[in-house]
Amino acid sequence: MATPKDEELIERIARASAQGKGRSPLYRWMREHYDRLVPLLDRPDWEAVAAEFQAAGITHGGSGATLSATTTRQTWWKVKRDLRKLDASDNEGGGS
């Protein structure tokens, strides 16, 4: 049986792995601020949202390319998908 200390470690590892290699600054920012973004990104103007992220210097990668509405929307969907998977895993007792 997992102890509270084990659960805390698993949670920290999950957060650390979400910010690992292969995740863009945009993904990491959206994931970190997920709870506040949920009500705002139900049916937004993705062009305007992308422009705001771009203006704030939050990018999709290291190329410096302009952030598109499509990339911003798809990144949000990935964040939601990943957090749903994590939540489902938590509800199943940690997935083990």
Mean pLDDT, rounded, for 32-47? 96
Residue 83 structure tokens: 């957090």
Q: What are the Cα distances from residue 90, in Å, to 10, 41, 72, 84? A: 10, 24, 27, 10
Q: Return the pLDDT at 15.
A: 72
- For the stretch 21-38, pLDDT in tens is 678 899 999 999 999 999
pLDDT at 60 over 50: yes
Q: Provide the pLDDT for residue 93.
A: 62
What residue spans define the domains of the chain? 4-91
As a whole number of angstroms, the distance between CA 47 and CA 29 comes to 18
Question: Which amino acid is present at 74?
Answer: Q
Residue 96 DSSP code? -
Which pLDDT band holds residue 96 (cuts at 50, 70, 90)?
very low
